A and B are shown apart, each in its own frame.
Chain A
Amino acid sequence: MIKLRANYSVHDIVKFGVISKKLDFSSISTARYIDLEYENFKVSNLQYEDLDFILDIGRFKPDLSGCYVVDDRYYIRDDYIFYEDSYKFAKWKVEISNFDSNDDKILVRLQANIPGSMLVSGFLVDHIINYLLNINGYPVIHGSGVCRDGKSIIFTAQGGCGKSTMAMYFANNNYSILGDNFVIVHDGRALSFLTPFNLFHFNIHNIWNKLSTETKFNFYLKYLIFKLSGLNITTKINIRSIFPVADMAKIDKILFLKPCNRKFLLEQINKEELLNCILANQMLDSINFLRCMLEYSYVFPESTLACYWAMYRDNLEKSISNKTAIFKVNVPKNAINASKYIYEWVKKNG
């Protein structure tokens, strides 16, 4: 008996459903947090047969017969991974099957406790979406993207480099947002990946007057909890509610942000250098999931999963046109000033 069901579609390339057979606290919470994260992808008219992967939330017992046991924690057989993991208070159990054969849908079973349910998107769902997008030739870049008049600028960076600040600054100046954390690239175009903004004390003033009183109150309550207990619960807010968004646009410029203690610097780099940077960035970004991927790759070195990073680089190479202008930018600590510079520079150079 399926008691809960929600469907999501990422540009019709990756379609996934969340189901639950038993409604307990943790599965309701998990479903809620997933819904919050992928709100903008939600669709109602999807058939079960069309789905690319299914996330089944709730208690389950894995069938481990014939599995390789690596590091006493990962159970692996052809097309199948099971593992348990934890982070601070969060605990989860994951079973992923059918990911290596192209014809069938990926089945994921997930059991997480309440703190774990808040992290589901970061430790699992994002990575599976990225994986599916990649094997379909749509690599995802960790970065933010904005566009105007059908031309887009992508800011690729690590966390804390000011990519959200850049995106917000541009959005405050009549640009539309393509994504705050991820952007999909394909065939010289950037496709949107609209996940919610994470509000922090250092970026909230950029969009202060666009927030409702309730959100502000909510934010400061959580900030107080953070200051008192060190427990960091981020406030998320849907981008759609504050900025205009766009679906896709031609890639005009890619700016690769490097935070630096010195002054602002902008210089052109070649594509090869960018690809290497993005690859390192992406690996650093998916380090939580990397272990699972590498353990499987060790057992099956010729599987699709084992070729994932080589494939990712190839796809990037194909997706970014050779004519795209690529720059690296040294961003000083105050990212707002840098945003101003870049904005003026873009205005001047078209």
Chain B
Amino acid sequence: MARKYSSCYNIHDLLTVSVNSVRPINDLDREFEFFRCDHINDCNINININISNFKPKLPSTYYILDNKYCISDNYIFYKDTEGCASWKIELFGLETENIVVNFYSKYSYTKYRDTILNPNFLVKDLLLRLIEYLVNTKKGMFLLHSAGVDRNSTAVLLAGRGGSFKTTLTMDLVRYNNFNLLGDDHILCSNNKKVFSFPENLSIFQYMLNNLETERSWTLSKKLGLLYSLEKGESKFCLNIPKFSNLRFIIFITRKKQDDIEIRKLVNLKYISKKLVFNNMVDDLISPYRLGINTGIFLKCLFAYSYIFPQSSISKMYGNLECGLSRLLENVDVFEIGIPYKYNSGISSKISSFIEYLLEVYT
């Protein structure tokens, strides 16, 4: 009998997740460290993921799309190969509040060495998308692709596409300006302007905070140092992370081929909510690109399922998001900051002082 690994996560009492696996899930535990709990009530698991090889339990009637997606009411099964990964996935209860997932994946490690430390990379990504989908359709809340910091229960979100130095800015705000961390890649927003923290990979973030200047200054010795400290459990987080905060500012960070930073205020609500929606959509689309996979697994399921069941709740996800955001954004001040292509520490100090100024003047 193979050894079993399992973990439970409780996301701010909003969602509960349980993962059972036949292989170690240390990387998954690291990712959702903040939400780990000892026990959750069996009958109330929102997302139940089983990672092991499985035989699909196809229902008696199902649709077949593109020769690979098998779709039925509340059910998807499909398997695929792309980049360095091959996987199969089976989802039960897709439109209910209790989703059961069977997942199995294999990587060719020679191609993308990243995956050696992250054997559950695809599960991690899938779990994030499932959380995004569930909070959106069942709780009326939104998982935004954005970093966030807090001071005195006032939240500042830093939204931006990949490579816009969100993480570095968050790091600098936390270590030099006494802000509290809410999350460095995602954030949970509720209808009543509450921002719930969603920190991922806390021990790595903590290590970066202590040892790295920017998110790009990884060297071999730093990487080895990280491995060492993870092994010894040294970099246990000692950050102060509030459970929630109140949304007050959103700042878009964009990288631009120019020499100085430029700041402008955005006032058009529709423009802002669309921008946030597109930001989330691109993120869902490209998330596993590091494995050479062009399209997010869950997004493909989403399109395929809404093709067969066009009136389902799953096909309304982005519509919900845009609607919800335009309500959420009232009385929130939004800015866009263009930063130079070549990053330097001066930029972060300028942005920090701008945020300090905002907090002083507007609150």
Q: Which A residues fall within an 8 A CB radius of B?
A: 64-72, 75, 87, 158-161, 258-262, 273, 276-277, 280-281, 283-284, 287-288, 290-291, 294-295, 297-299, 301-302, 306, 330, 333
A68 touches B256 (CB 8 A): yes
Contact check: which of A69, A71, A330 meets B341 at CB < 8 Å?
A: A69
Interface membership of B282, Cβ < 8 A:
yes
The B interface, classified by DSSP as helix, strand, loop or mixed, is: mixed
A71 touches B162 (CB 8 A): yes
A258 touches B256 (CB 8 A): no
B278 touches A66 (CB 8 A): no
A71 touches B161 (CB 8 A): yes
Which residue, of B268, B272, B278, has the highest number of chain A Cβ atoms within 10 A? Answer: B278
Contact mask B298-309 → A, CB, 8 Å, 1/0? Answer: 001001101110
Which 7 A-B residue pairings sit nearest by Cβ, starting from the closest? A276-B310, A301-B274, A298-B278, A160-B67, A280-B307, A72-B163, A70-B161
Shortest distance in angstroms between A346's beta carbon and chain B's nearest beta carbon?
23
Assuming the A-B contacts A273-B311, A287-B295, A294-B278, are A67 and B256 also in contact, with contact meaning beta carbons closer than 8 angstroms in the complex? yes
B311 touches A262 (CB 8 A): no
B315 touches A306 (CB 8 A): no
B65 touches A71 (CB 8 A): no
Q: Which residue from chain A places its CB closest to the CB of B308 in the assembled complex?
A: A258
Give the CA-CA distance A198 to B294 in the complex, in Å: 24
Q: Which residues of A contact B315 (CB under 8 A)?
A: 276, 280
B303 touches A284 (CB 8 A): yes
B residues 45-69 near A (Cβ < 8 Å) are 58, 60-67
Interface membership of B254, Cβ < 8 A:
yes
Q: Which residue from chain A places its CB closest to the CB of B258 in the assembled complex?
A: A66
Q: Which residues of A contact B311 (CB under 8 A)?
A: 273, 276
Shortest distance in angstroms between B262's beta carbon and chain A's nearest beta carbon?
11
Shortest distance in angstroms between B313's beta carbon and chain A's nearest beta carbon?
13
A258 touches B67 (CB 8 A): no
Contact check: which of B63, B161, B255, B285 meets A258 at CB < 8 Å?
A: B63
Q: Which residues of A contact B285 (CB under 8 A)?
A: 287, 290-291, 294
A-B contact pairs, 27 of them (CB 8 A): A67-B257, A69-B341, A70-B164, A71-B162, A71-B163, A158-B66, A160-B66, A258-B65, A260-B64, A261-B61, A261-B64, A273-B311, A276-B306, A276-B311, A276-B315, A280-B306, A284-B66, A284-B300, A287-B285, A287-B303, A291-B285, A294-B278, A298-B279, A301-B271, A301-B272, A301-B274, A302-B274
Q: Which residues of A contact B338 (CB under 8 A)?
A: 68
Give the CA-CA distance A122 to B187 in the complex, in Å: 36
Interface membership of B358, Cβ < 8 A:
no
Shortest distance in angstroms between B284's beta carbon and chain A's nearest beta carbon?
10
B303 touches A259 (CB 8 A): no
Q: Which residues of A contact B274 (CB under 8 A)?
A: 297, 301-302, 306
Interface membership of B124, Cβ < 8 A:
no
A306 touches B278 (CB 8 A): yes
Give the CA-CA distance A64 to B60 in the complex, in Å: 55
Q: Identify 13 new A-B residue pairs, CB closer than 8 A, beyond the known A70-B164, A297-B274, A301-B274.
A: A64-B257, A68-B255, A160-B65, A161-B65, A273-B310, A276-B311, A280-B306, A283-B303, A284-B300, A287-B285, A291-B286, A298-B161, A298-B275
B residues 266-301 near A (Cβ < 8 Å) are 268, 270-272, 274-275, 278-279, 281-282, 285-286, 294-295, 300
Which residue, of B256, B271, B294, B310, has the highest number of chain A Cβ atoms within 10 A? Answer: B310
A295 touches B161 (CB 8 A): yes
Which residue, of A70, A72, A75, A287, has the highest number of chain B Cβ atoms within 10 A? Answer: A70
B163 touches A69 (CB 8 A): yes
Q: Which residues of B contact A290 (CB under 8 A)?
A: 285
Q: Which residues of B contact A291 (CB under 8 A)?
A: 282, 285-286, 294
B271 touches A302 (CB 8 A): yes
B62 touches A260 (CB 8 A): yes
Give the CA-CA distance A302 to B271 in the complex, in Å: 6
Assuming the A-B contacts A276-B315, A284-B300, A301-B278, are A68 and B254 also in contact, with contact meaning beta carbons closer than 8 angstroms in the complex? yes
Contact check: which of B257, B270, B304 meets A69 at CB < 8 Å?
A: B257
Q: Which residues of B contact A333 (CB under 8 A)?
A: 64
Give the CA-CA distance A330 to B279 in the complex, in Å: 36
Shortest distance in angstroms between A194's beta carbon and chain B's nearest beta carbon?
24
Shortest distance in angstroms between A203's beta carbon and chain B's nearest beta carbon?
13
B residues 2-38 near A (Cβ < 8 Å) are none
Give the CA-CA distance A158 to B162 in the complex, in Å: 31
Contact check: which of A65, A158, A261 meets B257 at CB < 8 Å?
A: A65
Give the CA-CA distance A67 to B282 in the complex, in Å: 19
B162 touches A259 (CB 8 A): no
Give the CA-CA distance A87 to B65 in the complex, in Å: 22
Shortest distance in angstroms between B72's beta carbon and chain A's nearest beta carbon?
9
Assuming the A-B contacts A69-B256, A71-B286, A276-B311, are A259 and B65 also in contact, with contact meaning beta carbons closer than 8 angstroms in the complex? yes
Contact check: which of B64, B254, B310 meets A299 at CB < 8 Å?
A: B254
Contact check: which of A159, A284, A294, A302 meets B281 at CB < 8 Å?
A: A294
Give the CA-CA distance A310 to B281 in the complex, in Å: 15
Shortest distance in angstroms between A307's beta carbon and chain B's nearest beta carbon?
9
Which residue, of A68, A258, A262, A288, has the highest number of chain B Cβ atoms within 10 A? Answer: A68
Give the CA-CA distance A260 to B58 in the complex, in Å: 12
Give the CA-CA distance A289 to B255 in the complex, in Å: 22
Give the CA-CA distance A280 to B258 in the complex, in Å: 39
Contact check: which of A70, A87, A302 meets B255 at CB < 8 Å?
A: A70
Q: Which residue from chain A places its CB closest to the CB of B299 in the assembled complex?
A: A287
Contact check: which of A71, A273, A297 meets B278 at CB < 8 Å?
A: A297
Contact mask B214-253 → A, CB, 8 Å, 1/0? Answer: 0000000000000000000000000000000000000000
Give the CA-CA distance A80 to B278 in the complex, in Å: 18
Q: Which residue from chain B places its CB closest to the CB of A302 in the assembled complex?
A: B271
B282 touches A294 (CB 8 A): yes
Q: Which residues of B contact A65 (CB under 8 A)?
A: 257
Q: Which residues of A contact B163 (CB under 8 A)?
A: 69-72
Shortest distance in angstroms between B273's beta carbon and chain A's nearest beta carbon?
8
